[in-house]
A and B are shown apart, each in its own frame.
Chain A
Amino acid sequence: MTSLPIQVYFALSISLLAVGFYILSVKRNILRIILAIELMITGANMAFVILGYWIGNGVVDPLIRSIVIISMGIASIVAALAIAFVILIFNKFGTRDIRKLRKLRW
């Protein structure tokens, strides 16, 4: 497989991180923020895979592959938990705006 230079994949990974960062710092909707976190995790995983390919001489290093798979599993668990929180918060407070959820009180 003739591949693009490695820098292109890195640029994609970093742009995923940047988009995630942008959403985290600007958007107020909790769902969007969770999606942004997922995006950032994807970007980080991607960087891992690229590096694994780089040191693996044609194949992705198996250790790194397993780490990335674990990471993806954890990310999905985090997302599931976070969305469960969102549902609870929405039921309780009737809002998805994090600016309105500033107080750690009930």
Chain B
Amino acid sequence: MIIYGEILIWLVPVIAALLSPIIAHISRKLTHAVSITSMGISMIIAFTMLVDLIRGKVSYYPGNEVLGVIPFSRTMTWIPLKHIIGVDIKFGVLFDPLSIFMANVVAFVSFWIFIFSVGYMDKEPDIGRYWFLMNLFVSSMLLLVLSSNLLEMFITWEMVGLCSWALISFWYKSRAPSPDPRFKTEGEYNAHCGLKALLTTSFADAFFLVAIAIVGYVTMLSMGEPTFDFIALSENLSWINELVRLGILPIFSIMLLSGPLGKSAQFPYQEWLPEAMAGPTTVSALIHAATMVKAGAYFVGRFYVLIYEGVHLYNQTLPAGIDVFFLIAAYIGTFTAFLAGTQGMVAKELKKILAYSTISQLGYIFAAFGIAGLLMYQEAFLAGSLHILAHAVFKALLFLCAGAILHTVHTKYVYEMGGLKKYMPVTFYTMLIGALSLSGVPPFAGFFSKDAIIHVAFQNPKTQVLFIVLVITAIITVFYSFRMIGLVFYGEESDHIKKLASEHELHDAPLVMKVSLIALALVTIIAGIFFEPLQEILEGRIIDSSDLAASIGEYLYHTFISPLLPLTIAVILIGFLPAYYVFIARKADPARIVEGNIILRGIYRFLINRWYFNAMYYKIIDGVRGFSNQLRKIQTGLANVNILYMLIALLTALILLILM
């Protein structure tokens, strides 16, 4: 790693963020260049960290080498509060396989999204604000995955949420007609969507913060001093026993899990993510692939590693009862995977299909990490981590393809597309690769990781229920992936497309967009080969380069010729054939099939209304708002009345003083 790399990796994007609003007044091209250069530097630094990990040694300064396979951190005191709250707030960077792996995923995917942005945002007047927020977003996420303690992580966690709010409602000035009848303009709708994301995740984070405070309390009881440091928490797992002794472990688990569930849009917080599509598509890609939603999954993985290393690296007994955290994570993840997958089957907007698929795939990751922690099963953890990587790459690819399509056809409804294959060949083939990877078709990246998750669920008798639901969800995934491809690229051209084609030539994406599409597609194709060395890195083993080829070959062989291979083929066929029949070959009219059958019609209505969760949440919110409106009446704004309140409060205080 280069000197001060652990600071530069997130500081360079911050500097670029601060510079870009100023440079935007000078030259647009320079702004693009600065942002992409900063992201490139971050990517290179992340990559050097990975190389250090592969070599087995991390060196900060010449002559100061540390064994890379043991997690360690570099911290400094940030806010000295020792005399006030008994603990200094530390600021630091944690190096372990998981954090460096995540930093690489984030930096790599963000880099290609940034390059795509140059083409996608070419007509955007407010480019300074865009780059400011994008750079800040990515640097917060990099610092989040590298942060060495819970408090620092929470701060960056909220920074990620704040940036996502600003980016989702980026086009708040738009005067176009609103897609939702409740709002006057599209700008108002966008602002509402951003606020919905911010409020949902912040609501979840409130519980998360309480859980972090509980960690401080129980570590004070068990170790004599509050600590939030991941390594310190891992070295001494007695704080979990303290939780058990106090009898608050289940509540603590739910609270601690609440933050990740909110961030990753899992049940019951899943409703913000489909609305988060209001922002520019590059922002959606960033939120879904690299930053934001991955933070939640990362935290569950981090928590698993914390427990696992406490047991295996620091030789402690596994604290009883902590599996409740992972049990909830596994079941909620599996349920959400199914819930969002079914909604993806009927979604009408291109980006919403992808949004539902993100929620669904994150459900897989949560299920994998949950199973890992439930059984202390390293295979499941590896499968989940690799699915983070695979999902990051193919979801970024799919979103960027969707961005290229939206950039050309100016509509977001899939039923207004169709027949785009001949106009946009590059986008078609790259999007097809992304969809194949999402469906888990071999040999694309998604196949390896998803297959591994289903495999670990299958192997253990405890998780058979999860296995069944995950397989059903895999079928649904294949179906909606090909529905999307069919509706966008095949069939008759819609009236909208015909009109566009007659007015001006429908063109494929510009070169700068094509470059990143092709790069991500190539990674999707070949990533499977690197999964075996990545697994070794994540396990903290040093890669033996002599028999690397042999072990990769063995891994590929085992994955392809697994007992689940017939199941994989069956899943793909069951999902693919109806989608092919209806949406690609267009042999039947989907609307007529649904209308003709009363059960299907009921299911359709249930799914298109998002299982009525969204409506229910709005009902609750309206109830709270009604209550607040009543309560607001005591806030008159009259100075006289306020003085009276003051008088009442003074008298009450006086009476209390006398009574005591």
**A residues apposed to B, CB below 8 Å:** 21, 24-28, 33, 98-99, 102-103
Q: Which of B636, B637, B640 contacts A26 (CB 8 A)?
A: B640
B637 in contact with A25 (CB, 8 Å): no
- Sorted nearest first, the 10 A-B pairs with minimum C-beta distance are A25-B643, A24-B643, A102-B637, A25-B644, A25-B640, A98-B639, A99-B638, A21-B647, A26-B640, A25-B647
Shortest distance from the beta carbon of A96 to any chain B beta carbon, whole Å = 13
Shortest distance from the beta carbon of A43 to any chain B beta carbon, whole Å = 14
**Bound: A103/B638 CA distance, A:** 10
Within 8 A of A (CB), among B613-660: 636-641, 643-644, 647
B638 in contact with A102 (CB, 8 Å): yes
Identify the interface centre among A24, A25, A27, A99: most chain B CB within 10 Å of its CB: A25
Q: Which of A21, A33, A103 contacts B639 (CB 8 A)?
A: A33
**Which A residues touch B643, using CB under 8 A?**
21, 24-25
**Which B residues touch A98, using CB under 8 A?**
638-640
The closest CB in chain B to the CB of A103 belongs to: B637
**Which B residues touch A99, using CB under 8 A?**
638, 640
**Which B residues touch A27, using CB under 8 A?**
640
B452-494 Cβ-contact flags toward A at 8 Å (1 or 0): 0000000000000000000000000000000000000000000
23 CB-based A-B contacts, threshold 8 Å: A21-B643, A21-B647, A24-B639, A24-B640, A24-B643, A25-B640, A25-B641, A25-B643, A25-B644, A25-B647, A26-B640, A27-B640, A28-B640, A33-B639, A98-B638, A98-B639, A98-B640, A99-B638, A99-B640, A102-B636, A102-B637, A102-B638, A103-B637
**Bound: A50/B639 CA distance, A:** 31
**Bound: A28/B636 CA distance, A:** 15
**Which B residues touch A102, using CB under 8 A?**
636-638
Shortest distance from the beta carbon of A85 to any chain B beta carbon, whole Å = 13
**Bound: A17/B643 CA distance, A:** 13
**Which B residues touch A26, using CB under 8 A?**
640
Within 8 A of A (CB), among B225-282: none
Count residues of B near A (Cβ-Cβ below 8 Å): 9
**Which B residues touch A33, using CB under 8 A?**
639
Shortest distance from the beta carbon of A32 to any chain B beta carbon, whole Å = 11
Q: Is the interface of A mostly helix, strand, loop or mixed?
A: helix
**Which B residues touch A24, using CB under 8 A?**
639-640, 643
**Bound: A98/B636 CA distance, A:** 12
**Bound: A98/B639 CA distance, A:** 7
**Bound: A36/B77 CA distance, A:** 51
The closest CB in chain B to the CB of A99 belongs to: B638
**Which B residues touch A103, using CB under 8 A?**
637
The closest CB in chain B to the CB of A102 belongs to: B637
Identify the interface centre among B638, B643, B647: most chain A CB within 10 Å of its CB: B643
The closest CB in chain B to the CB of A18 belongs to: B647
**Bound: A73/B639 CA distance, A:** 25
**Which B residues touch A28, using CB under 8 A?**
640
Name 10 extra pairs, CB < 8 A, besides A24-B639, A102-B638: A25-B640, A25-B641, A25-B643, A26-B640, A28-B640, A33-B639, A99-B640, A102-B636, A102-B637, A103-B637
**Bound: A102/B640 CA distance, A:** 12
**Bound: A99/B643 CA distance, A:** 13
**Bound: A28/B643 CA distance, A:** 12
The closest CB in chain B to the CB of A27 belongs to: B640
**Bound: A25/B647 CA distance, A:** 9
Shortest distance from the beta carbon of B173 to any chain A beta carbon, whole Å = 22
The closest CB in chain A to the CB of B645 belongs to: A25
Identify the interface centre among B637, B638, B640: most chain A CB within 10 Å of its CB: B640
**Bound: A103/B637 CA distance, A:** 8
**Bound: A24/B650 CA distance, A:** 15
Shortest distance from the beta carbon of A105 to any chain B beta carbon, whole Å = 12
**Which A residues touch B641, using CB under 8 A?**
25
**Bound: A33/B647 CA distance, A:** 16
**Bound: A25/B639 CA distance, A:** 7
**Which A residues touch B638, using CB under 8 A?**
98-99, 102
**Bound: A98/B643 CA distance, A:** 13
**Which A residues touch B637, using CB under 8 A?**
102-103
Shortest distance from the beta carbon of B650 to any chain A beta carbon, whole Å = 9
**Which A residues touch B639, using CB under 8 A?**
24, 33, 98
**Bound: A102/B641 CA distance, A:** 12
**Bound: A24/B646 CA distance, A:** 11
**Bound: A99/B647 CA distance, A:** 19
Identify the interface centre among B637, B638, B639, B644: most chain A CB within 10 Å of its CB: B639
**Bound: A98/B640 CA distance, A:** 9
**Bound: A29/B182 CA distance, A:** 43
**Bound: A98/B638 CA distance, A:** 7
**Bound: A21/B639 CA distance, A:** 12
**Bound: A58/B639 CA distance, A:** 42
**Bound: A104/B636 CA distance, A:** 13
**Which A residues touch B644, using CB under 8 A?**
25
Shortest distance from the beta carbon of A20 to any chain B beta carbon, whole Å = 10
The closest CB in chain B to the CB of A20 belongs to: B643
**Which A residues touch B636, using CB under 8 A?**
102
**Which A residues touch B647, using CB under 8 A?**
21, 25
Shortest distance from the beta carbon of B633 to any chain A beta carbon, whole Å = 13
The closest CB in chain A to the CB of B641 belongs to: A25
Identify the interface centre among A21, A27, A103: most chain B CB within 10 Å of its CB: A21
**Bound: A33/B639 CA distance, A:** 10
The closest CB in chain B to the CB of A33 belongs to: B639
Identify the interface centre among A24, A27, A103: most chain B CB within 10 Å of its CB: A24
Shortest distance from the beta carbon of B644 to any chain A beta carbon, whole Å = 5
Shortest distance from the beta carbon of B120 to any chain A beta carbon, whole Å = 39
The closest CB in chain A to the CB of B650 belongs to: A21
Shortest distance from the beta carbon of A91 to any chain B beta carbon, whole Å = 20
Shortest distance from the beta carbon of B643 to any chain A beta carbon, whole Å = 4
**Bound: A28/B647 CA distance, A:** 17
**Bound: A68/B439 CA distance, A:** 80
**Bound: A97/B638 CA distance, A:** 11
**Which B residues touch A21, using CB under 8 A?**
643, 647
The closest CB in chain A to the CB of B639 belongs to: A98
The closest CB in chain A to the CB of B638 belongs to: A99
**Bound: A33/B637 CA distance, A:** 16
**Bound: A24/B638 CA distance, A:** 11
**Bound: A99/B640 CA distance, A:** 9
**Bound: A21/B637 CA distance, A:** 18
